Each structure stands twice: as structure tokens, then as C-alpha cells.
Structure 1
Amino acid sequence: MIRTRFAPSPTGYLHIGGVRTALFSWAFARKNKGSFVLRIEDTDLERSTPESVKAILDGMHWVGLDYDEGPFYQTQRFDRYKEAIQQLLDSGHAYYCYMSREELDALREAQEARGEKPRYDRRWRPEAGKTLPPPPADVQPVVRFRTPLDGITGWDDAVKGRIEFANAELDDLIIARADGSPTYNFCVVIDDWDMNITHVIRGDDHVNNTPRQINILKALGAPLPAYGHLPMILNENGQKMSKRRDAVSVVDYADRGILPEALLNYLARLGWGHGDDEFFSMEQFVEWFTLEAVSPSASRFNHEKFLWLNAQHIKAADNARLAGLIAPRLAASGLDTANGPALEDVIALVKDRAQDLNVLADECHYFYQKLAAPQADIDKHLAGDALARMARFAGRLEALPEWNAESIHGLFKPFCADEGIKMGQLGMPLRVIVCGTTQTPSVDAVLALIGREEVLRRLRG
């Protein structure tokens, strides 16, 4: 059975790079009728916070990536990690290292001064014929993994193809700190083993961790998962996106007026493709998704294209659902929609004009409250006898036997003929005086929705 996992560290908010990783892992599990596991890697006790955990869980809920198991927390599994560390110590695959921080810093400085790659010199590593000094009484030891000194560690990456590392280039990494707490690379190995993870799908910033983790799994006699390393997401300047500089919290996209399905749709297209398809549902994505179709090259985030895609999802969204998202935005700006047209009907008319929900909310304003028109529009469209003409047109509107867009539209041509004007000389002043803006959908449909009584009040007010 296929089992994938998403394993964020709760040291900040959930950003789009993390969501893209979760999305691909989720889609692979769903495509193969497998299980998707959520794991919180919170062993960094100084930086992990409950707020960050909540941000991760809220973000996963908002985008709709449902997990089958979890969340599991590494801090609740320390006994298991200690048991596995002892197993490696007992088998000779790990050893105690009493090198002090000061000694390690001095070693690295000397190596860098000689132009060498800074690395631990394995002075406490037990070897045949090697005599180790007595352990210093004032140093709490770390536990290091005994990395093979020769040979190659490699794997067939599901995204990048064959990747190999010479073991001689790998350090004897620390798997338990001096205080006994296990380190990230070790915990990941034990978790993936215990949770029967079959496919580790993660960002390619983890490529260098993979040979170390493979060696630990082999030392434990554990099965190896398949690995697939996803390409980086670059910002519009071609730089690696960072939490600090580029990405906001995923749930902040809700405040920016982004639909979760639009975010997932766009992230799916960053590094993966299905022909020329740009706009698709998550059901289609799962059906089409394969790791073989993931590009090994980095992708660049294009904000303009992202907003275009969000607009397509707004157009396709159910009007009742959109009304539920827009109503709180209008209420926050002090608008009462109870005595105006049905919000669903307004949204159906104006949603094709919006790239995000905040713009869509703005497009709804003048249906419930007349906007203050810019002075430039007033000077341009309400000069001369335009106001008197609006009063005459109000009379014709008042006399309509039926109030609907078709009836209102039927007044335009004869009124313009009687007044000797073009349609623009009627439509633009109508928009400015009734709506407070020159940018609206078809003015007959707008007037029909606002309602006869309110339209006449605005025309004559």
C-alpha cells in the first residue's frame, strides 16, 4: 500500500513551498489509493511553537488537503528514538563523541584556513587498532552515526533520476545531542520506518540529507522508501523563495481574496504539467498526476498568472458559496445587505470582473450603497443638461409596468432618439449618478438588481 507523508517543522507559518510539497504527496497517495500522513517535526524545541503548529493545521484545513493519519508529533516519540539510538550503539553503527564545541570550532577554523572542507575528523570513532583517549569527565557526549568510509550511496530519484554520493564525502553526523535529544535526520528515518512510508516526496533542499538517511536505514536493517525530490519554487526575480522575504502564511491568502482551489491549482502547475491544461480541479489533478511528469528544474512564481487563475476559479465557483465569503467582507466595511438585492444575484452579475474576493466585494458595494463618484467623472459626465436628462429618464423608469433588465433596456433606444444623444451619453451619466463609478456590467442589469425605488431615489437625490 502506498503511504506518503508531509512533515513540516513548526518553526513558522505554513508557506506555499510547503503546501506544494504536501499537495504532491497527497495527490500521489490519492492517485494510488494509498494513505497520506501528517507528521509535525517539532524536535527543535527552541524554535517550535504551539502557534506554528496551529498555523500548519489551519493551513492544511483551509486548502483542503485531508490527511488519513496524524498529526503525529516527534516530541511524543522520544522514547522510541532513544531505543533506536541504543540499537545503533549496541551494533557498533554509532558511537559516543566527547569532542567539545570549542574543539570542533577550532578544528573547522584550521580546516578552512587550509582551504579544506570543514568536517568532523572522526577522532572519537572506534576503529580496529585505534586507541581512544579516556572520556573527559566534564563533557557530555553526543552520539554520532558511523558512516561507511568507502563505497557509494545512491538511489533512483522519482523526479531527478539517479543520484549518488561517495560515502567518503559524508560526515559522521550527530544523531543525539549532548542533552540526549535526537536530531532531525535521525528522527525522520525512524518515523518513516515506523510509519511504513513507501514514498518520501519532499523539496530538493533535502537531497543532501538522503544518503545519510539511507545509510541509517541500512544500519537498522529497515526497508528503504522511494525518494522523489521536488524542484525549488523561485520568486519573480528568479531567487529561491524564502519565508522571510517572499511567502506569506497560506491562511493569509484567504485574507487576500484567494480561493484555496486556485492556490492548489497554481501550485500544481509549478513543476508539473498535463499538456496545455492550466485550469483544472483537484479531482482532475489526482487523476492526471504522476511523479514522472514532475520537472526536475526550478519553477518561477508568476503573480499575474496566479491572479488570472484565481479569477477563473471565481468565475466557476458556486454563487452561494461566494456569497458566504463576500458577506463578511461587506459587513466589515459597514454595509448592510439585508435590505438590498440578493447577494448571490449580485455576485452572478459582477464576478467575471474580479481577480480576487476583495475586488469582488468592492464590485458589490454600489448595489447596497451609492458610492461617492470621483470629481473628474462628475465633471465629465454630469455637466450641462445631463442632470436634467437623468430626471427625465427617471420618469420613464418610474412608469415601467415591469421592473427587469429587459424592460429597462427597452427604454434606452427611444429615449436616446428623443433626446438626440448617443447611448454613451445616457449610460455613463446613469452609472455615475446611480453607482458612483463608470465601471459596471450592463447598466440595465445593474439597475434591475438595485431596484426601482432605490434607483429613483439616487437619480432624484
Structure 2
Amino acid sequence: MTVKTRFAPSPTGFLHVGGARTALYSWLYAKHTGGEFVLRIEDTDIERSTQEAIDAIMEGMEWLGLNWDEGPYYQTKRFDRYNQLVDQLLAEDKAYKCYCSKELLDEIREEQMAAGLKPRYDANHPRIIAANAAATEDSPFVIRFRNQKEGSVVFDDHIRGRIEISNSELDDLIIRRTDGSPTYNFCVVVDDWDMEITHVVRGEDHINNTPRQINIYKALGAPVPEFAHCAMILGDDGAKLSKRHGAVSVMQYRDDGYLPEALLNYLVRLGWSHGDQEIFSQQEMIEFFSLDDISKSASAFNTDKLRWLNNHYIKTSAPEYVAKHLQWHLDHQGIDTSNGPAVTEVIKLLAERCDTLVELADQSRYFYQDFSAFDEAAAKKHLRPVAKEALELAKAKAAALESWNTEALHQLIQQTCEELDLGMGKVGMPLRVAVTGQGQSPSVDAVMNLVGKERVVSRIQMALDFIAQREANA
């Protein structure tokens, strides 16, 4: 048997973190078993489904690298198939027409709740029998699935173990609406059958749908897939993950400066583990993944851990790869890299210090753009009259330097210290502020090397002018 999994989002919004984790688990299981992964767009909610949401889902999947083997399939393009099978169930007396109005059903539900009963459709209720008997050929109706009344639905969930639901708990659900459109629970079953889905990985909010769907599979004579229902993702405060916890859209994480590998690595560990290992290559995820190792407990989202992982991938990924993702942020921040060092060289220098690509882009700015002001606190501490002599000497040496490289610049700073009998901090810190405009940066000789001779000399002069102005105002 070829394993076939699917990810089947409803296009009523962006691809959120919970959906991305479900997609990842489905994708990993298919890859682990040498199977196939299907993308299906469940757009039967025509009023709420949008092309914008479809595009957002596709963009998120592609950014994460979760490529699909089949699809995307669209449910709205399969209505003829669904209705063919609804008609088949009608002909086999496994479904029936119901003429009850919504108002009548609402009244019956209120009566049931007032009596302490579970609100549900009861085909044997006297008022429902009467309403169906009074209907004419022109009366509007829905099609309901004739659910079994005896026995139980039993299935072995890969995450939650054996689940048993009595058929008496399940009512006759609607499978075709008054307007002729099929409903979600029916479409899902037909799709899984037609697409030969063997394993359904989805959120625990679908557990209540599963016994209803299993009965429809059986009524159609379709094979029943295996199920794995994942626990929800919580915020770090224990509440269900939502916008107030920060980004929940996958593409918002792209915008916030995360690499797809970091988010995937983080998501795979939100409910699944392999020993104590924290960092997984994609190949390791595929090799080790198992549905049976997914925890049934809810997982808490921890942004600090995600940032730590992201820093790891920024540091350890090939600079050329990081540069591809960084370019979006450089463009977004208006940083033109055409006049400056190779972006890959800047990444090598800054990667250790940055948790996100947003930070990396922002910290790379001084390599490509001149600044008009120094950081106020850094300038106040380090661009003082006492630093003037060191900056003047360093500037003269820089202007005269023929071989511009990190080693030569390191010697330049050392020589300045020795000639003026100053400690490294008394020379290096004023130089750092002069060249970067900031109080923190990587090694100042390496920074000067990438900033370039002309800019370094010009910026040291700008710092000297700042000190002169400071003296004049004193």
C-alpha cells in the first residue's frame, strides 16, 4: 500500500501556525514512508472563501518548502461528483429528504436544552414527522444522512489511541443543503476516497467529525483511512494561540525575519520528539518522524526558543542561502547593497549577533549607507575630546594605508595604541562609534575592512567634527 496523506485547509484566512504544523506532519509522514502528499483546498464555504486566502496558503506552503505531489484540488470544482453520490445514497435509502424549517429545528433544540437533553436532530420527533408529512413537492428540503442507530464507531487514533463513540450520540447530519450544495463532512469523505488518502492528520477539533465521517465512508463502501488528531498549540500563557501572542500567520514569521528551516524545526518539536534532539535537518525529520511519537498533550509556543533556533540557522546556513532570504528584508528597509561589500561577507560578520533577518538587515545598514548622526549614548561616552588624538592618528594611518584588509587594519589600531600609549578600548571604541555610528559591532578592524577606505576616512573626520563641535559648545 502506498501511503497518501493530505493537507486540506479552508481558504477563509492565512496559513496559520497550527495549520502549518498539520501540513508538516502530513508531509513528513508521506516522505518518511515513501508515499505521496496531496494539497486540497476545501472551499465549500463559498461566502467566506477568497482567492486572497488561497494565494496566502500557497505562498506559505511554498515558503516552508512543503511541496505537494498532487493538487491543489478544489472542492468547488467537484460538486457534480458529490451530488452523484448523494443521489446514490438517496436511492439506497441511506439518506433522505428533510423538509423541516430552521425555525422549527431551533424551537426543538431549545425545548431539548430546557429539558436537560442534548440538542440534536431527532427524526422520530413528532413535530419533525409532522413537518415532513405536510411537505409538498415544491417545499424546500435538505438531504440528511441516515446514520446508524445501533452499535458504536470505533477507531484507533495514532495519537489518542482507541476512541469509541456510540451511534446513538450521532444525529442524521445534513449532507446537501437546500440550495443544492454538499456539506463539509460529506465532501471530505468523498475526496479522501477518490484521492486514495490512507492517513488523515488533522487537529483535535475534528475528533467529533470523525465518527460521522467513518459512517459515511462505510455507507459508500469506501475504505476508512487511519487518523491522527493533533493537540492544539497554546501561547506561552497557556491560552489558545492567537494574534495577541504575536504572529500566527506563517508569512508573518517570514516578515519578522525567520528562516523557513527555523520555523519548520520549531513546529516539528511542538508535539513530536526524537530523544533529546532539538535541531533537525530536513532529512533527519523525514528519517525519524512517526505519527505514533506525536504527543497527545497541548504544546506551548515559546518565541524565545524560536529566536534561538533562528539564530542557529542564520549562523550555520550557507551565507549565500541566508542572503537570498535577507534580500527581501534589505529591500523592505530600503537598503541598496549595490554600493558596498558583498552581502555574504556582511552575513559572515554579523550572523553570530542576530536572532532575526530583520535585525541582520538593520545592523548591515552602515556598510551600505552613510549616517548623519551618531548614537547619542555611544557618542556621549566615546566621542569626547580625549579621543581626538587617537582618531586623528588612526585617520592619518588609514588614509595612508596601501593594503586595505582586516590584518592591516588590526595592526593600524595596535600601532595607534602603542604610539599613544593607550589601551585598546581607548582607541577601538571611539573608532567603532566613528565608523558605525553605534556603540556595538563586530570586531572593528573587520568592520572597517568591509566599510571601505573612503567611507572609513570620511566617517572618522565626521567624528572629529562632532568632537570639535562638542568642545565649542562646552
TM range (shorter): over 0.9
Indicate if the aligned counterparts of 1:241 and 1:247 stay in contact, CA closer than 8 A. Answer: no
Q: Say yes or no: does 1:70 pair with 2:76.
A: no
Q: Say yes or no: does 1:256 pair with 2:256.
A: yes
Report the Cα offset of residue 124 of structure 1.
7.6
Structure 1 stretch displaced more, 439-448 or 333-342: 333-342
Aligned to 2:369: 369
Q: CA 1:106/1:132 → structure 2, altered by over 3 Å: closer, same or farther?
A: closer
Report the Cα offset of residue 22 of structure 1.
0.6
User: 5 Å matches for 1:54-65?
Assistant: 54-65=55-66
Aligned to 1:351: 351
Query: Could you say what secondary structure the match of 1:397 adopts?
Result: helix
Indicate if the aligned counterparts of 1:15 and 1:243 stay in contact, CA closer than 8 A. Answer: no
Deviations 1:118-168 (A, max 9, x none): 11121389xxx9996242466311111111112110101011111111111
Structure 1 stretch displaced more, 353-362 or 325-334: 325-334
Q: CA 1:419/1:132 → structure 2, altered by over 3 Å: closer, same or farther?
A: closer
Aligned to 1:335: 335
Indicate if the aligned counterparts of 2:99 and 2:131 stay in contact, CA closer than 8 A. Answer: no
Indicate if the aligned counterparts of 2:257 and 2:329 stay in contact, CA closer than 8 A. Answer: no
1: distance between equivalents of 2:333 and 2:178? 55
Query: Could you say what secondary structure the match of 1:88 adopts?
Result: helix
Q: CA 1:242/1:136 → structure 2, altered by over 3 Å: closer, same or farther?
A: farther
Aligned to 2:159: 159
Indicate if the aligned counterparts of 1:97 and 1:124 stay in contact, CA closer than 8 A. Answer: no
Report the Cα offset of residue 362 of structure 1.
1.0
Structure 1 stretch displaced more, 438-447 or 390-399: 390-399
Report the Cα offset of residue 246 of structure 1.
5.6
Question: Where do 5+ consecutive residues of structure 1 fail to align?
Answer: none
Query: Could you say what secondary structure the match of 1:144 adopts?
Result: strand
Deviations 1:331-361 (A, max 9, x none): 4444332232122111111111111111000
Report the Cα offset of residue 300 of structure 1.
0.6
1: distance between equivalents of 2:90 and 2:356? 57
Aligned to 1:306: 306
Query: Could you say what secondary structure the match of 1:395 adopts?
Result: helix
Report the Cα offset of residue 328 of structure 1.
4.5
Q: Which amino acid aligns with 2:8?
A: A
Structure 1 stretch displaced more, 181-190 or 105-114: 105-114
Q: CA 1:82/1:245 → structure 2, altered by over 3 Å: closer, same or farther?
A: farther
Aligned to 2:465: none
Total equivalences in the alignment: 458
Q: CA 1:246/1:319 → structure 2, altered by over 3 Å: closer, same or farther?
A: closer
Aligned to 1:276: 276
User: 5 Å matches for 1:109-120?
Assistant: 109-120=110-121
Q: Which amino acid aligns with 2:432?
A: R
Deviations 1:187-215 (A, max 9, x none): 00011011110001111110110000001
Report the Cα offset of residue 325 of structure 1.
3.1
Identity %: 53
2: distance between equivalents of 1:245 and 1:65? 25
Report the Cα offset of residue 303 of structure 1.
0.8
Q: CA 1:415/1:247 → structure 2, altered by over 3 Å: closer, same or farther?
A: closer
Indicate if the aligned counterparts of 1:150 and 1:167 stay in contact, CA closer than 8 A. Answer: yes
2: distance between equivalents of 1:274 and 1:252? 28
Q: Say yes or no: does 1:142 pair with 2:142.
A: yes
Q: Which amino acid aligns with 2:347?
A: I
Report the Cα offset of residue 401 of structure 1.
4.2
Report the Cα offset of residue 243 of structure 1.
6.6
Report the Cα offset of residue 247 of structure 1.
4.7
Report the Cα offset of residue 291 of structure 1.
0.7
Query: Could you say what secondary structure the match of 1:143 adopts?
Result: strand
Task: Give the TM-score normalised by the residue count of structure 1.
Answer: 0.95
Structure 1 stretch displaced more, 151-160 or 324-333: 324-333
Indicate if the aligned counterparts of 2:8 and 2:39 stay in contact, CA closer than 8 A. Answer: yes
Q: CA 1:236/1:138 → structure 2, altered by over 3 Å: closer, same or farther?
A: farther
2: distance between equivalents of 1:411 and 1:226? 69
1: distance between equivalents of 2:224 and 2:141? 29
2: distance between equivalents of 1:415 and 1:247? 49
Task: Give the TM-score normalised by the residue count of structure 2.
Answer: 0.92
Query: Could you say what secondary structure the match of 2:276 adopts?
Result: coil
2: distance between equivalents of 1:131 and 1:117? 21
Aligned to 1:235: 235
Q: Which amino acid aligns with 1:423?
A: M
Deviations 1:423-442 (A, max 9, x none): 11111111111110111011
Query: Could you say what secondary structure the match of 1:251 adopts?
Result: helix
Q: Which amino acid aligns with 1:374?
A: D
2: distance between equivalents of 1:244 and 1:145? 40
Question: Where do 5+ consecutive residues of structure 2 fail to align?
Answer: 463-474
Structure 1 stretch displaced more, 45-54 or 208-217: 45-54
Q: CA 1:246/1:172 → structure 2, altered by over 3 Å: closer, same or farther?
A: farther
Aligned to 2:413: 412
Indicate if the aligned counterparts of 1:232 and 1:299 stay in contact, CA closer than 8 A. Answer: yes
Aligned to 2:450: 449
Structure 1 stretch displaced more, 74-83 or 317-326: 317-326
Indicate if the aligned counterparts of 2:333 and 2:361 stay in contact, CA closer than 8 A. Answer: no
Q: Say yes or no: does 1:47 pair with 2:23.
A: no
Report the Cα offset of residue 55 of structure 1.
1.2
Aligned to 1:290: 290
CA RMSD of aligned residues (A): 2.0
Report the Cα offset of residue 412 of structure 1.
3.2
Indicate if the aligned counterparts of 2:203 and 2:230 stay in contact, CA closer than 8 A. Answer: yes
Aligned to 1:85: 86
2: distance between equivalents of 1:431 and 1:358? 22
Indicate if the aligned counterparts of 1:346 and 1:364 stay in contact, CA closer than 8 A. Answer: yes
Deviations 1:172-231 (A, max 9, x none): 111111111111001000110111100011111101100000011111111111111111
Aligned to 1:214: 214
Aligned to 1:379: 380
Aligned to 2:96: 95
Aligned to 1:15: 16
2: distance between equivalents of 1:282 and 1:215? 37
- Identify, as 1 or 2, the structure richer in helix: 2
Aligned to 1:200: 200
